[in-house]
């Protein structure tokens, strides 16, 4: 079959760079998952052609046996993300019992990319996904876990600027264009490497590259017992910090899992939590199993807390029970590892929703102190600061989160849109919330309120109707009691927008 050459394609307001693994809408990054990007690239590269389900599943889940329902879920999410085409139809058409076809008009683009991000004022680094060089696809999670742990270890060094995991995993499986990736992410240095384990041994290759000069600053090969994998991670981190900053006092030690199967389960579960309610329930089972294998593994408790909070485990959204369980799990995580910034900000966020504001503020402050590069902590803090009436801080925090995580999870956009609404930046809020969040029903309430404040009532009412399809029992009164507001004027501002938009009282 004919395959279009090159990797950058424009359709409607979108630009897909399948080589870099990014999707832009009006030159701004869209939060789309790794598998969604793989599926979209496969379809866009062969517009008008029918791609069979098996071929698409192989594109998104290479070498892995998955149920057809996973493909259906991903296609549905892509459709919601892209929204309607200019003619009101769908970009992706279903061919019954066969597969799918991309119906849009594609323009192949040259090599120009979006404007590079400016370099921070301190050494900046991104850890590219380590390559699994074994023939065993089951070892993908081992390589991914190694990548994530190195990001976490480096993030805790206050003298470094470190890109978050969401953004670097956009480049997983891509040919390495060192200079281009560094420009996309706004960093000077890249760490790349490979990993495999066999017969109780682990082999890791790592190299630190200066993307500006092209020089290799440090490279080393490790061949150790598999039980020493975390010691190897510590050694790699130390070598990088020494190369970039000289010798520094090491941060407090992290809580490491004592059981490698529990570690593997936790890595796998993290990938599943954002896909759908079904996969989030799989994550719940994996994390529960991880805790049973290693009851003192803090990260497993942290992610299980978030899974409960997100409401996937208890259908119908976060209930009082799921919130209570989530808080208990988050407290357990911090008790096990008080030096983990991720555990701290999760606890802080849940405490804010319990209206334990003083404790929440203290936990957020500790999280940032432990890891100033923790992008999710800044994004969560933005949400809480905005609802506390500190709107300027909220905008500053979410923008910092975006800089640390240029290709973030979709909830960043909701948080940004909420802060823009609170600041009275209604046009900006509409642009943000229509950028890539319209498929998340929770964002539509902010979009409707922003449109209403602009006097665009027909559009606001349409968004309300769509919002209520997914939230039929929503009332403004109940919402006001569940969100962690602590500023009356800010709360009234939101209620005013909801009322104008026609949301139920």
Question: Does residue 115 form part of some domain?
Answer: no
pLDDT tens by residue, 349-372 = 999 999 999 999 999 999 999 999
**Same domain, residue pair 227 and 134:** yes
List the domain range (segments joined by +) for residue 91.
8-108
User: Which tens digit of pLDDT belongs to each residue from 60-95?
Assistant: 887 777 788 889 988 998 998 888 887 778 899 999
pLDDT at 203 over 60: yes
Q: Is 50 exceeded by the pLDDT of residue 495?
A: yes
Secondary structure in 3-state letters for 207-243: EEEECCCCCEEEEEEEEEEHHHHHHHHHHHHHHHHHH
Q: Say if 118 falls within a structural domain.
A: no
Specify the pairing of strand 216-225 against strand 161-162.
unpaired
- Give the residue-averaged pLDDT of 7-18: 84
Q: Provide the pLDDT for residue 3.
A: 35
pLDDT for 248: 62
The verdict on residue 1 lying in a domain is no
Average pLDDT (15-41) is 80
The confidence score (pLDDT) of residue 111 equals 52
Determine the 3-state secondary structure of 310 from DSSP. Answer: coil
Region 376-401: mean pLDDT is: 96
- The CATH number for 164's domain is 3.40.50.10610
> Are residues 84 and 141 part of one domain?
no
For residues 58 and 403, which has the higher predicted lDDT (pLDDT)? 403
Report the C-alpha gap between 40 and 38 in whole angstroms.
Answer: 6
425 and 354 assigned to the same domain: no
Decide if pLDDT at 401 tops 60: yes
Structure-token pair, residue 497: 């927008």
Indicate whether 504 pLDDT > 90: yes
Residue 421 pLDDT more than 90? yes
Asked if 145 and 235 sit in the same domain, the reply is yes
**Distance of alpha carbon 106 from alpha carbon 268, whole angstroms:** 35
Asked whether residue 2 is assigned to any structural domain, the reply reads no
**Cβ–Cβ < 8 Å for 340, 370:** yes
- Name the domain count of the chain: 4
Of 245, 274, 306, the position where a domain reaches its end is: 245
Residues 487 and 456 in one domain: yes
- Return the pLDDT at 461: 93
Q: For residue 16, what are the β-bridge partners?
A: 9, 23
SS3 annotation, 442-489: HHHHHHHHHHHHCCCHHHHHHHHHHHHHHCCCCCHHHHHHHCCCCCHH
- pLDDT surpasses 80 at 151: yes
Q: Are 133 and 236 part of one and the same domain?
A: yes
User: Sign of torsion, CA 431 434 436 440?
Assistant: positive
pLDDT (mean) for 240-251:
78
1 confidence band (pLDDT: 50, 70, 90): very low
pLDDT, residue 438, reads 43
Q: How does pLDDT run across 281-325, given as a tens digit for each residue?
A: 888 999 999 999 999 999 999 999 998 887 644 445 566 677 889
Q: Say if 341 falls within a structural domain.
A: yes
Name 161's bridge partners: 124
Domain boundary among 203, 219, 245: 245
Helix (H, G, I), strand (E, B) or coil at 87: coil
Q: Above 70 in pLDDT, residue 20?
A: no
pTM of the model: 0.76
Residues 42 and 88 in one domain: yes
Which of 59, 84, 108 is the C-terminal boundary of a domain? Answer: 108
d(CA 410, CA 439): 10
For the stretch 428-485, pLDDT in tens is: 999 888 875 444 667 889 999 999 999 999 999 999 998 898 788 899 999 999 899 9
Give the three-state DSSP class for 175.
coil
Shared-domain flag, residues 90 and 30: yes
Q: Residue 440 is part of a domain; what is its CATH number?
A: 1.25.40.10
Q: How many CA atoms lie within 13 A of 382 on its CB side?
A: 28
Do 268 and 212 fall within a single domain?
no
Per-residue pLDDT at 410? 81
**What is the chain's length?**
505
For residues 361 and 376, membership in a common domain is answered with: no
- What's the pLDDT score for residue 440? 61
In a domain, 474, yes or no: yes
Percent over 90 (pLDDT), the chain? 48
What per-residue confidence (pLDDT) applies to 369?
95
Q: Is the pLDDT of residue 113 over 60?
A: no
| Higher per-residue pLDDT: 99 or 64 | 99
Residue 99: which CATH number? 1.10.10.10
pLDDT at 143 > cutoff 60: yes
Residue 407, domain member (yes or no): yes
- Count Cβ atoms within 10 A of the Cβ of residue 97 and give its class: 0-12 exposed, 13-18 middle, 19 or more buried: exposed
**Which residue in 469, 427, 474 sits closest to 450, CA to CA?**
427
Alpha-carbon distance 295 to 447, whole Å? 43
pLDDT of residue 445: 93
> For 18, how many CA atoms within 13 A lie in the half-sphere containing its CB?
23
Whether residue 96 is contained in a domain is answered as yes
C-beta separation of 335 from 356 below 8 A? no
pLDDT one-digit tens code per residue, 328-346: 999 999 999 999 999 999 9
Residues 282 and 198 occupy one common structural domain? no
Indicate the burial class of 505 (C-beta count within 10 angstroms; 0-12, 13-18, 19 or more). Answer: exposed
Q: Give yes or no: residues 377 and 503 share one domain.
A: yes
Percent of the chain with pLDDT over 70: 92
Task: For residues 482-505, give the mean pLDDT.
Answer: 96
What is the Cα–Cα distance from 292 to 298, expressed in whole angstroms?
A: 12
Helices 277-293, 260-272: axis angle to 10 degrees equals 160
Has residue 11 got a pLDDT over 80?
yes
Any idea what DSSP says for residue 114? Answer: P
The pLDDT-based confidence of 36 (bands split at 50, 70, 90) is confident
Q: What is the residue-averaged pLDDT of the chain? A: 87
Kindly report the number of other CB atoms within 10 A of residue 486's CB atom: 14
């Amino acid at each position: 079959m004919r395959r279009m050459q090159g990797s950058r394609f424009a359709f409607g307001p979108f630009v897909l760079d399948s080589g870099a693994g990014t999707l832009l809408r009006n030159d701004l990054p869209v939060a789309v998952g790794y598998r969604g990007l793989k599926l979209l690239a496969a379809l866009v590269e062969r517009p008008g052609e029918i791609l069979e389900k098996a071929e698409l599943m192989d594109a998104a889940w290479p070498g892995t046996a998955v149920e057809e329902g996973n493909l259906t879920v991903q296609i549905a999410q892509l459709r919601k993300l892209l929204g309607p085409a200019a003619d009101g139809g769908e970009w992706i058409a279903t061919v019954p019992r066969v597969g799918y076809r991309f119906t849009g008009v594609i323009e192949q683009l040259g090599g120009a990319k979006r404007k590079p991000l400016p370099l921070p004022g301190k050494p900046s680094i991104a850890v590219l996904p380590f390559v699994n060089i074994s023939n065993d696809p089951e070892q993908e999670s081992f390589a991914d876990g190694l990548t994530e742990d190195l990001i976490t270890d480096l993030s805790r060094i206050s003298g470094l600027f470190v890109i978050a995991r969401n953004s670097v995993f956009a480049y997983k499986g891509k040919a390495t264009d060192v200079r281009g990736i560094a420009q996309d992410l706004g960093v000077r240095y890249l760490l790349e490497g490979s990993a495999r384990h066999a017969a109780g041994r682990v082999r890791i290759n790592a190299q630190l590259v200066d993307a500006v000069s092209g020089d290799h600053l440090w490279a080393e090969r490790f061949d150790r017992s598999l039980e020493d994998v975390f010691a190897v991670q510590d050694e790699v981190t130390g070598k990088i910090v020494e190369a970039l900053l000289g010798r520094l006092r090491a941060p407090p030690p992290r809580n490491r899992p004592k059981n490698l199967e529990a570690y593997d389960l936790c890595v796998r579960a993290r990938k599943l939590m954002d896909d759908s309610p079904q996969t989030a329930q799989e994550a719940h089972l994996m994390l529960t199993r991880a805790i049973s294998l290693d009851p003192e593994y803090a990260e497993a408790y942290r992610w299980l807390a978030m899974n409960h909070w997100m409401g996937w485990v208890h259908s119908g959204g976060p209930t009082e029970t799921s919130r209570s369980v989530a808080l208990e799990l988050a407290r357990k995580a911090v008790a096990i590892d008080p030096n983990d910034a991720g555990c701290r900000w999760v606890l802080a966020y849940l405490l804010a929703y319990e209206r334990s504001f003083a404790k929440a503020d203290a936990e957020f402050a500790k999280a940032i102190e432990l890891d100033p590069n923790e992008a999710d902590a800044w994004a969560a803090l933005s949400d809480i600061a905005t609802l506390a009436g500190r709107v300027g801080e909220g905008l500053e925090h979410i923008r910092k989160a975006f800089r640390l995580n240029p290709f973030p999870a979709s909830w960043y956009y909701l948080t940004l849109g909420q802060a823009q609404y609170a600041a009275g930046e209604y046009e900006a809020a509409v642009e943000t919330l229509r950028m890539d969040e319209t498929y998340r029903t929770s964002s539509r309430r902010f979009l409707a309120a922003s449109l209403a404040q602009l006097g665009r009532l027909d559009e606001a009412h349409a968004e309300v109707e769509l919002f209520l399809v997914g939230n039929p029992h929503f009332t403004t009164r109940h919402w006001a009691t569940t969100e962690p507001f602590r500023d009356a004027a800010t709360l009234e501002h939101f209620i005013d927008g909801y009322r104008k938009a026609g949301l139920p009282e």
